[in-house]
Structure 1
Amino acid sequence: MTKLVAFGDSIFAGWDGKENVSANQRIPELIGQQLGWQVTNVAIGGTKYDDSSNGFTAMVNKTDVTGFNYALVSYGVNNFSWPDPLDVVKQNAVNGFNALKKKNPQLKILLELPTEDFRQGSKTLYDV
C-alpha cells in the first residue's frame, strides 16, 4: 500500500477556519481516502517553517519516514502572520526538505502552497 506522511500547521491538523474537524475529515486523510493510501499525519497547529521545537525541520527529525512513499508538506500561514525574514523562512524550508531526503532518499515530496490566513479577514477555507 502507498504510504503518505503529512507535515503541516493547523490546516492539516484539522482546523477548517471555524473549528477542528474529525481526523477522517482532515485534508491529508481525505487525500488518502480518495487514493486508497495509508496516511500518517504529524501536523501541529501554530507551526511554521522555523527552527522551533515543533517547526518543520524538528518534526522531520522526530518522525520516522522510512517506508513512506510520499511526504505532503503544508506550512506558511503562520509565517505570514508572524513573519521572519524571507531568507530565514527559505532556509528553514530547505533544511526540512533536505532532512526528509536524507532520511528517505526515495521519498517523493509534495508541497501544498500556504492557505488563506483567517486573521486577514477570511471566514473559511473556501474564501477566495
Structure 2
Amino acid sequence: MGKNVVHVLAENLSRLCDGPKGMSILEVGRRAQIGKSTIDRIKKGETAVRINNLEDVAQVFGLEAWQLLYPNLSRIHPPTEVDIKQDFSEEEYLLIKLYGDLGQPEKEYILSKAKQLADEKDNGAANNKSTGRTVA
C-alpha cells in the first residue's frame, strides 16, 4: 500500500521548504495566510490539512493542490495532468483503471501473470526465430 497522504504532503512540503530555493515555514505561512504553527504541523505530518489551506500552500510554490499530494514531488519537474485516453487505447485505459481499483495482493498476482505471459511470448518468438518459423 502507498504512503499515507498526510505523510506524502509532509515530505513534499519539507522538500520544498528545505531545498536550495526553499523558504522558511514562517514565509510559507505568511504568503499562504496560514499560521506558522499550522504549517509546522503539516510539515511534520502531525495534522491533516483543509483543502483551502492546501490550495493556498500550493500557490505559494506555483503548484496546484493535487501536485502537493504526489509522492516524491520534484520541484524542478512537478507532475502534470495527462489525458490518459490520448496515450492509450480504450482497452489499455480500462485495464489501468481496473488495476488501480485492486488491492495489493491482486496487483501482485496480475503483475506476475503479465510477466509470465510476456516471458512466454518472448520465449516463443525466440524459439520460432531459431527454427525459422513465423507465428501470426
TM-score, normalised relative to structure 1: 0.26
Please state which structure has a larger fraction of its residues in strand. Answer: 1
Whose radius of gyration is greater, 1 or 2?
A: 2
Please state which structure has a larger fraction of its residues in helix. Answer: 2
Give the structure, 1 or 2, with the largest relative contact order (CA under 8 Å, sep 6 or more).
1
TM-score, normalised relative to structure 2: 0.25
